[in-house]
Amino acid sequence: MKYIFGILLFVLSTTTKAQTLSDALLYADENLYGTARFSAMSGAFGALGGDFSSIHINPAGSAVFNNNQVAVTLSSLNTKNESSYFGSKVNSNNNSFDLNQAGGILVFNNYDEKSKWKKLALSVDYENMRNFDNSILSIGTNPSQSVADYFLSYANPGIYNSNIPLSTLASNYYEDLDIRGQQAYLGYNGYVINPDPSNPNNNTYVANVAPGSFYQENSVETKGYNGKLAFNFSGQYTDKFYFGFNFNTHFTDLEKTSLFYEYNENSTTDGMRELFFKNYQRTYGNGYSFQLGAIAKLNNNLRVGLAYESPTWYRLNDEKRQLLATTGYNYGNPPVSGLSDAYVDSDVLIVYPAYKLQTPSKWTGSLSYIFGKKGLISIDYCLKDYSNIQFRPNDSYFRPLNAAANQLLKTSGEFRLGGEYRHKLWSFRGGYRYEQSPYENKKTMGDLTGFSTGFGYNFGNTKLDVSYSYTQRKAQEAVFSQGFTAPQNLKSQFNNISVTLLFEL
């Protein structure tokens, strides 16, 4: 049994195309770690405010602060993945340590008794909204399908309604072709596919693989982050109302290294026997969004909140490098008897034109009840329509992706519940989170569930908070996005520990 060694990381699809729905969801969906207090209460802060991470839920929350503060949060994230591929189960682990949050706020109290504006607040807060470090390895024996079908799906007309002449693959360089031609080029020059001998036009292809079963390993390495910097302005109007506005800048950097291995003993005289296919891809760029929010005190104990978050408008860039190595029989032109090797290294980092991605907007309604100085309970409910994901320009390349988003994705609801109990200088917290799948078909991606807990201690002008949160989600994804669509079943568990140090100035 042949294993791929190294760090093996997880993403929702391993296509060599940079732009997929799975990739879009990496930017449309966000983690809820933030400060330790925020994380310990599962992010249920829309009507509470008074916490740096609450500003990213409802920007009116900064007006609840009573004095100037700065805070820094460090987090340790452990991700456990279990994959099931044709009955074989494999576990993988990944650990990362990050600066998860850093922010400061200035509060300006208005002592003019004639003015209804009681105070204004200005704040800046950075948060790592998504940690891309993750890992998975899938291993199994496919009873009938080879990865050759992936290369055939690009080489043959199929969904493209056009042929690729053999002369295009035989006489051009990899870097001179479009992404479809590049995949067909790799398959042809790596002897994974051959021209169809029954077609005298030499513009259709067949697999150079004997039928039977195929041992396969699939892995993806990812690392990077999706950061958000919020510039916040808010104010308190009378004793009952808080209003706020955020202008957010986003910056992201994601690297993926996918590795696929296949081996068969279906023939000892003809066709491909062994294959190693490596893809490196980097996506980076920036974006912007804005948020509006309000909080109202219905009485001394009850608060309600409403917030709107605009779409995030990203401008992204993709880079890619590929390598294919195979071993098989009767390679070459003319064919050479016995086993031979083929090695196709693009040796070129392809830089694609910049494109735009628009993620969905979000509405958040919140309700909280405060038990004097003893504690509180808070509820948030969010709605986000993932079918509004859009790639730009809406040309022949992106139009199918936009249509797929409209058909396969849906409006997702998220429920968050958090509570806090205070005893002298100690605070004890807990929370629960449930988020619906963004897909119409929950087999593609299941619902997310999680819980959290934590505590804090008040030293006076300094506060220390610690939290632990757990979430889990199941998914079923094809190994590649087209042609070779063997399903791998994934169960992911996320364990996060955060520590926040806060200083009142």
Query: Is the pLDDT at 337 greater than 90, yes or no?
Result: no
pLDDT tens-place string over residues 440-475: 999 999 999 999 999 999 999 999 999 999 999 999
pLDDT tens-place string over residues 189-226: 999 999 999 999 999 999 999 999 999 999 999 999 99
For 7, the 3-state DSSP assignment is coil
Mean pLDDT of all residues in 378-399: 93
- Burial annotation 40-69 (CB, 10 A radius, 16+ → b, else e): bbbbbbbbbbebbbbbbbbbbbbbbbeebb
Q: CB neighbours of 501 closer than 8 A, spacing ≥ 6?
A: 71, 72, 73, 462, 463, 464
pLDDT confidence bin for 10, thresholds 50/70/90: very low
pLDDT confidence bin for 332, thresholds 50/70/90: confident
Query: Is the pLDDT at 9 greater than 80, yes or no?
Result: no
Give the β-pairing of 487-504 and 462-478. antiparallel
Note the pLDDT of residue 7.
24
Query: Is the pLDDT at 12 greater than 90, yes or no?
Result: no
353 vs 415, which has greater pLDDT?
415
Note the pLDDT of residue 23.
85
Note the pLDDT of residue 6.
26
**Lowest-pLDDT range, 301-315, 325-339, 350-364?**
325-339
Query: Is the pLDDT at 110 greater than 80, yes or no?
Result: yes
Record the tokens describing residue 217, joined without a space: 């390993």
Mean pLDDT of all residues in 261-268: 95
pLDDT tens-place string over residues 157-188: 987 778 999 999 998 999 889 889 999 999 99
Mean pLDDT of all residues in 283-294: 98
Note the pLDDT of residue 346.
67
Note the pLDDT of residue 183.
94
pLDDT confidence bin for 334, thresholds 50/70/90: confident
pLDDT confidence bin for 304, thresholds 50/70/90: very high
Query: Is the pLDDT at 54 greater than 50, yes or no?
Result: yes
- Outline where DSSP puts E strands in 53-133: 69-85, 88-109, 117-131
For 153, the 3-state DSSP assignment is helix
For 20, the 3-state DSSP assignment is coil
Note the pLDDT of residue 383.
98
Angstrom distance (rounded) from CA 218 to CA 209: 19
Bond from prior residue into 334 cis (ω within 30 degrees of 0): yes
Closest of 283, 27, 250, 42 to residue 127, by C-alpha: 250
Note the pLDDT of residue 160.
79
Angstrom distance (rounded) from CA 428 to CA 394: 50
For 295-347, the DSSP string reads EEESSSSEEEEEEEEPPPEEEEEEEEEEEEEEEEEEETTTTEEEEEEEEEE--
- What's the number of CA atoms in the CB half-sphere (13 Å) around residue 327? 11
Record the tokens describing residue 284, joined without a space: 């980076």
Share of the chain above pLDDT 90, in %: 81
Query: Is the pLDDT at 275 greater than 60, yes or no?
Result: yes
Q: CB neighbours of 268 closer than 8 A, spacing ≥ 6?
A: 329
How many C-beta neighbours within 10 Å does residue 13 have? 16
33, 469 in Cβ contact below 8 A? yes
How many C-beta neighbours within 10 Å does residue 338 have? 9
Mean pLDDT of all residues in 310-333: 94
Query: Is the pLDDT at 494 greater than 60, yes or no?
Result: yes
pLDDT confidence bin for 150, thresholds 50/70/90: very high
Mean pLDDT of the chain: 92
pLDDT confidence bin for 477, thresholds 50/70/90: confident
Mean pLDDT of all residues in 244-256: 97
∠ CA 227-228-233, rounded to 5°? 165
Q: List C-alpha distances in Å: 467 to 33, 250, 454.
A: 9, 25, 4
